[in-house]
Amino acid sequence: MFDKILIANRGEIACRVIRTARRMGIKTVAVYSEADADAVHVRLADEAVPIGPAPSAQSYLVIDRIVEACRATGAQAVHPGYGFLSENPRFCAALEAAGIAFIGPGVSAIEAMGDKIESKKLAQAAGVSTVPGHLAPIADEEEAVAVCRRIGYPVMLKASAGGGGKGMRVAGNDAEAREGFRSARNEARSAFGDDRVFAEKFIEEPRHIEIQVLADAHGNTVYLGERECSIQRRHQKVIEEAPSPFLDEAIRRAMGEQACALARAVGYRSAGTVEFIVGADRSFYFLEMNTRLQVEHPVTEAVTGLDLVELMIRIAAGEPLPFRQDDVRLQGWAIEARVYAEDPLRGFLPSIGRLTRYRAPEEGPGVRVDTGVEEGGEISMHYDPMIAKLIGIGADRDAAIASIRSALDGFVIRGVSHNIPFLAALMHHPRFVEGRLTTRFIAEEFPDGFHGTAPAGEAADRVAALGAALLHRLALRGAAAGPRDWVLRSGRRNRPVTVEEAADGWRVVLDGRPFAVAGRWRPGEMLFDGTVDGERLVAQVDRRPVGLRLTHAGGEADLVLLTPRAAALAELMPVKAPPDMSRFLLSPMPGLLVSVAVAPGEPVRAGQELAVVEAMKMENILRAERDGVVGALHAKPGDSLAVDQKILEFAAA
């Protein structure tokens, strides 16, 4: 076994590998860029080595610096995590040449599966079901149209070296084929340095289901069940769960056996994932094999009781797997939600900045949190904006959903925008609860984007009763206790309410209905965890200029407690209209202005491309919302843009 390993990564995955290595008695070495000098993974490791400036191309992606860090510290092996160099065969070869073990598969397997075109050919040869398509690189936009017509729309255009949702576009007609090919190629060139694009049939009503495999160097290959990864946005996974609510044991076995056959065909060793697209009739087709640990591996660990990182380390050290296929048992259910620094109300645009407040839910039997940040840390524009992975675990799917719901309510993040309201909305969505999932779920259920939610019905009354109790507590600090008659105002709605303090909390009468609010809360605390009428309610509490904002189940309620006289006067107050910014095209995110497609004086039509902004290695096409004429340009290609910075201005009508 190794005495010391180096983790060639950062953030939550580096922290996660360090935890397992420490439990195994293995010392760890972290590497870090200038932006990560104070990062959590640097502090957790036994040693840390600086490897360059903030941009990953000058630090985490520089092979020579990682190898030199191993030599300088005596690290005998490297765990690459995921992303960065994890599937780079040149990195694996460089470590091999230096006599350093790679905690992952060999060079030949990485090369075979790293090219999506060649991997599909190998899968076909191994007897694995594959999607109909055109596996040769497409030369230009016109060939893209011809190929898509031959396959039959809809068609998926995919970067050969792609991953993580980058370099992927769905085309439903010739125009979308041209634009999709251009964007996929540009994204692939920027993110992977490889602009080859191929095409395959887009399966309608598809599910994205993947099989976790493990293989050692002694001929043992097993599968550890499946993960349902169908809840995606722009081909990026948002929610993952194990097992899938769709598969039966026969399909699970068939998919697992094909995944193992592919792993054997390429001489695979270590942990890997074979991804399939599954149709409504449970037909399944090979998509790709990821030759690394997956972001969503914790849900598999939860239902199998296995530590995949430990098994990867042991396999790399030459040990055989300690079990066989018949020993694998799936127990319980686990659901993972990816918590990102992004603004779901602004098209899920990345958010950067400092975490002024950060409090993750307490871990326990039903909750696991994998994170690599802390309060006061910074979400940098240079890296993926993931804050944490939240895993809810239960005896069955309903219990896992309940666990993750309450944990989301208790996840306190301030200083950057985040997607927790959207994740909570997903966890409460009836279609999700029923398990009727496809990769089109988000597009179908949120066709106009996510615009937030508000508590409704019974939930709204419970939140309102809680708000009245907390506002009463604030209003009467230091004053004589006793029942008080108030008016609870939410938006333009006034509701009569009486609040009286009780031994275990408050007695609230709202619109004539009594509520018992129980729980300990003091002014200044950002979390209430108690009960309303005996039912648990976890809510975040934020002071507003006037009143409180309560956040529960992804919804926000702004509440103000007024005297009856003040409430009557509030009815007379005018509402201030926001300034009209409709004549400007504003940058929706911090990023690089890649191109501007129009010039001053040029007429444009609704839906026409105006500019392209790149952020987090993703191209974002900004389009005209209505017909108009370009008046002036306020930025040029190559400019670094801030959020809401003006790009262009339309002429007055």
Would you state the structure tokens that stand for residue 420, as one six-digit string? Answer: 């927790």
Cβ atoms of 28 and 21 closer than 8 Å? yes
Which H, E and C letters describe 533-586, residue by residue? Answer: CCEEEEEEEEECCCCEEEEECCEEEEEEEECHHHHHHHCCCCCCCCCCCCCEEE
Give the separation between CA 547 and CA 561, rounded to whole angstroms: 7
Cβ atoms of 391 and 336 closer than 8 Å? yes
Whether the upstream peptide bond of residue 50 has omega within 30° of 0, thus cis, is no
Burial of 447 (0-12, 13-18, 19+ CB in 10 A): exposed
Closest of 563, 636, 556 to residue 596, by C-alpha: 636
Give the separation between CA 31 and CA 38, rounded to whole angstroms: 12
Closest of 359, 537, 343, 546 to residue 452, by C-alpha: 343
| Chain length of the chain | 653
Would you state the structure tokens that stand for residue 348, as one six-digit string? Answer: 């899920």
Which is catalytic among the residues 228, 275, 288, 614?
A: 288
374: annotated active-site residue:
no
Cβ atoms of 389 and 336 closer than 8 Å? yes
Would you state the structure tokens that stand for residue 589, as one six-digit string? Answer: 């995110």
Give the separation between CA 165 and CA 162, rounded to whole angstroms: 7
Q: What radius of gyration, in Å, describes the C-alpha atoms of the chain? A: 27
Rounded (10°) CA dihedral 525, 531, 536, 541: -20
Which alpha helices (H) appear in 438-505, and where do they start and end? 441-445, 457-475
For 160, phi then psi, to 5°, come to -60, -35
> In terms of C-beta distances under 8 Å and separation of at least 24 residues, what long-range contacts does 630-636 make, across chains too?
630/598, 630/599, 630/600, 630/601, 630/602, 630/603, 630/604, 631/583, 631/600, 632/600, 633/596, 633/599, 633/600, 635/587, 635/593, 635/596, 636/593, 636/596
For 49, phi then psi, to 5°, come to -125, 125
Burial of 375 (0-12, 13-18, 19+ CB in 10 A): middle
Q: String of b and e for 531-545 (b: at least 16 CB within 10 Å)?
A: bbbeeebbbbbeeee
The catalytic residues are: 288
